[in-house]
Structure 1
């Protein structure tokens, strides 16, 4: 397979009813653009017809450079790791298998990639909330000048849906995400940053993010089932913070991410049965890291106080924290 401008990796697991929309959106790109990118559908050991459906759709378009890579199940991170190994594009972007692109915006994006010389490109994305038929566009027009080349890294964490890296940033620095683990998009948006020296922003609404599928990892019931996965990712980011703490900008970006991750981990821990064990592991990891943890929310402060007193006042605090966590669980919804 020849080198190209952009590699699209589509992590796919048991999405036979959803994978067609994304692939068809790439088929709708004008013919002149189809030699500029490749689409790698990384089938993560699906037990349904995901691979078959993808292969049938790709076979319908001889101009689209696409293929299905089937591997043993290893989780979302493993599909991205495999995509990095297989990529032939100068740039690298992840589009999950149940999401899609707007062809006209994608074409503008390809035109831009031919002219830019940066390590990271930021673009817009739209949340497609199918459960209530609404959309939310996420952009950075108030933060970054369109088309300007910035040196260094963004001063906030950029969501996976908006990120495109130079492939060499990922491959040459051996970026690898945790396998058999959900929520690794956090790792994907942070771990390469120490090697990024320039970026630019373009307000193309490329990525269409499907929200509302019951099996999605961010569904609250899925998060409760996979609470230890979230803890694994949180711990990995704490390790990463210790590694990069001397870089002032990266320190700030990772610190703000940890505020979010730790607070969410505390919430999730109180929603499940083995709360104390999960929280002991979390807080112990925090104390061993270089991160200066200061709980910002009352709920988080009470939870941390419970741990610092070795759960001596658990008889009083546990019922309060459990009750409040139930309220937060209902508020979180999809």
Structure 2
């Protein structure tokens, strides 16, 4: 794992005096000059001048005006905004840099081209402050996120009312079934900081899709959770070259394979995870990762990709036969690995139909 993690220099600015911080917002930023102001302003507006938050902008080796913009935010709000300038390491290294510097009881990642809803943020802060004030330990705060297709003027909310209890603390034993569109992704999660720090996160440098590791590996450490049905995170979709753009995903399929392998190696779910509801959820998440690998192998023109996919399935079978059987021969696995050219076309058609319904790219 150590070869995937890199150490970076500390803050360019001196840390302010220690104070109680409810939540640290880490903003990974690479060439984000066009969007950074909106992102930071959305957090400060939602916090309404509160001094118990901090914003950590991580300038990940940007080549545009991002470093200057970040420094200007810190100069205007020195008690709240801090900046890390580091050599480019990719999204995962920027997330880890923010986590390393965080002083909040909770830590939430907000990508620089996304933003938070002010009213929902105020609601989240009220809940987190209550947990701290009463001494009630909540390891994971969950909220909704919204796909913002600005160029289309459409909004698609992903919520969890059908799967999770609302507005109270609960454990995995109370969790229901998640739809394939309801995975808990980075945008819906706010972890207790000590949960994330309890064990290293295997986030590789210069690799996209590390948010899947962030949303998967720490879950067994989360014993208590709280779900608020608020549309907090606004996830911008439609930027050219965005990591979830179909053409971009085809070109980065090797990275998708790499992330899926890291998730596979993290657990033998049927040996390591005893809580059945948690195991079922994690199995569903991992199955979707394998399905993505299968679908985009079919979309790719690279003749090496089918061989790599077969190797991935074979390695999964050796790693955990039970995980293999459920991922490969469940409904999703069968539907995304149909044989023959006709089957491939059917798989791709189903994927595009799902994309139109859920609007995930």
TM-score, structure 1 as length reference: 0.86
After the TM superposition, which residues 294-313 of structure 1 pair with which residues of structure 2 at under 5 Å, given as runs? 294=329, 296=331, 300-303=336-339
Q: CA deviation at 1:234?
A: 1.3
Alignment counterpart, residue 260 of structure 2, candidates 234, 239, 257? 234
Query: SS at 1:51's partner residue?
Result: helix
After the TM superposition, which residues 108-187 of structure 1 pair with which residues of structure 2 at under 5 Å, given as runs? 108-116=123-131, 117=136, 118-152=138-172, 154=175, 156=178, 157-187=183-213
Q: Which moved more, 1:227-236 or 1:132-141?
A: 132-141
1:88 has 2:118 as partner: no
Q: CA deviation at 1:326?
A: 6.5
Match of 2:217 in 1: 191
For 2:111 and 2:46, the matched residues in 1 are separated by 18
For 1:62 and 1:86, the matched residues in 2 are separated by 15
Contact 2:172–2:275 (8 Å) recurs in 1: no
For 1:146 and 1:287, the matched residues in 2 are separated by 37
Deviation track 1:142-166 (CA, whole Å, cap 9, x = no partner) reads 4333321102475554221111111
1:43 has 2:59 as partner: yes
Q: CA deviation at 1:137?
A: 2.2
Q: Which moved more, 1:254-263 or 1:47-56?
A: 47-56
For 2:184 and 2:219, the matched residues in 1 are separated by 10
The count of corresponding residues between Structure 1 and Structure 2 is 318
Q: Which runs of 5+ in 2 are unaligned?
A: 1-15
Query: SS at 2:329's partner residue?
Result: coil
Alignment counterpart, residue 97 of structure 1, candidates 70, 89, 112? 112
RMSD over aligned Cα atoms: 2.4
1:251 has 2:270 as partner: no
Identify if the C-alpha distance between structure 1 residues 262 and 164 changes in structure 2 by more than 3 Å, giving closer, same or farther: same
For 2:348 and 2:338, the matched residues in 1 are separated by 16
Contact 2:105–2:194 (8 Å) recurs in 1: yes
TM-score, structure 2 as length reference: 0.80
Q: CA deviation at 1:323?
A: 5.3
